[in-house]
A and B are shown apart, each in its own frame.
Chain A
Amino acid sequence: MWTASLGPKPRMSEATPAFQFASVPQQREAATLGMWTFLATEVLFFGALIAAYSAYRIAWPDEIAAAARHTKVALGAINTAVLLTSSAFMASAVAFDEAKRRRPVVLCLLATAVLGLLFIGIKGYEYCLEYQEGLVPALNFQLGRYGGIGELFFLFYFFATGFHAVHLTIGIAMVVMLAVRTGAGHPPHAPVLRMVGLYWHFVDIVWIFLFPLIYLPGRVG
């Protein structure tokens, strides 16, 4: 570990691994394993939410479908496309980084962050519409005709999309930080960009499953 007594902090680049590693590939392997371990805990975090939702949906399919019809499917689909595109830019940033082309890396990271912010904006607009329609549980819920189940659906909706938005916000902050540091000529340790990429794609995958579970039931008839 670097301390002040060792003199100026050495600049880490693609060629030099952090001091506890023998080589850059070894450092990347260790970081990747650690990131996938963290992601496994995240799988269970969102998995528990989805398991609870599935139990309700199997028990009360019609009530859940009737409530899900009140979500904004067009906005949800657009947001899915936005997030898929952001993931493609993130993957492109990693590809450009491997080719040691700094400027396209920064541009791809900025595109990723802008699309992430666009997603949050559209989600916020949806929340606004849902508040106006009286769909927010405990605040102004007005779908009494479906019993308590409609409220349960929207409780899940706000929890799941809210936690997803928190994850995405953390991701945007990391991507912006990476873009600024890379653009200023101080890129972080070799595997950091890849690790942020893994996290970003994972948040994308969570949405890939939330979209059909939340927005698509009850669209027939």
Chain B
Amino acid sequence: MSAVLRTIWGCWAALVVLLATTTGLAFVPLGRWNIVVALAIATAKALIVVIVFMELRRSSGLVRVFAGAGFLWLLILLGLTGADYSSRHESYIPNTLQLHETPVKR
């Protein structure tokens, strides 16, 4: 009982420390690493909540698979959206823009 409570509030302390860290680091110029650090800390916080507060460490394999499935679908959603936007070029837009790029053969 008290051991469980100690784990819970220990995790709470870790979460608050991580919150202070991410807020502080947002004001430190790290270039493009700012967003990487912020999301890495957010992921660490989410893992603490999922594993300890949501009891995934004590859950059966099937429950873990269901929890992981939601995360996998999120990766597909974000991955394919990112792939679409990162592979778009103006030359894909028909007519107007393409006319300037392809030499006209007669």
Contacts and interface: CB of A to CB of B under 8 A. Distances in A.
Contacts of B41: 212
Nearest to A194: B55
Contact-residue size bin, chain B (C-beta under 8 Å from the other chain):
35 or more
Interface residues of A, number: 52
A91 B22 contact: no
B59 A32 contact: yes
Interface in A52-111: 54-55, 58-59, 73, 77, 80-81, 84-85, 87-88, 90-92, 94-96, 98-99
A84 B9 CA distance: 10
B42 A212 contact: yes
Interface string A185-206: 0000000001001100110110
Contacts of A94: 55
Interface string B1-37: 1001100110110011001001100111110001100
A36 B63 contact: yes
Interface in B45-97: 45-46, 49-50, 52-55, 59-60, 62-63, 66-67, 69-71, 73-74, 77-78, 81-82, 85
A152 interface: no
Contacts of B82: 54-55, 58
A99 B78 CA distance: 41
Contacts of B50: 201, 205
Contact of B8 (A39, A47, A88): A88
Contacts, number: 134
B5 A95 contact: yes
B46 A209 contact: yes
A40 B49 contact: no
Interface in A151-207: 194, 197-198, 201-202, 204-205
B63 A32 contact: yes
A84 B12 contact: yes
A50 B29 CA distance: 24
A32 B78 CA distance: 26
A201 B60 contact: no
28 contacts: A29-B62, A29-B63, A33-B66, A37-B66, A40-B73, A43-B73, A47-B74, A47-B77, A48-B77, A55-B82, A58-B82, A59-B85, A73-B23, A80-B19, A84-B19, A87-B49, A88-B9, A88-B12, A90-B53, A92-B5, A92-B8, A95-B5, A98-B1, A194-B55, A208-B45, A209-B39, A212-B41, A216-B22
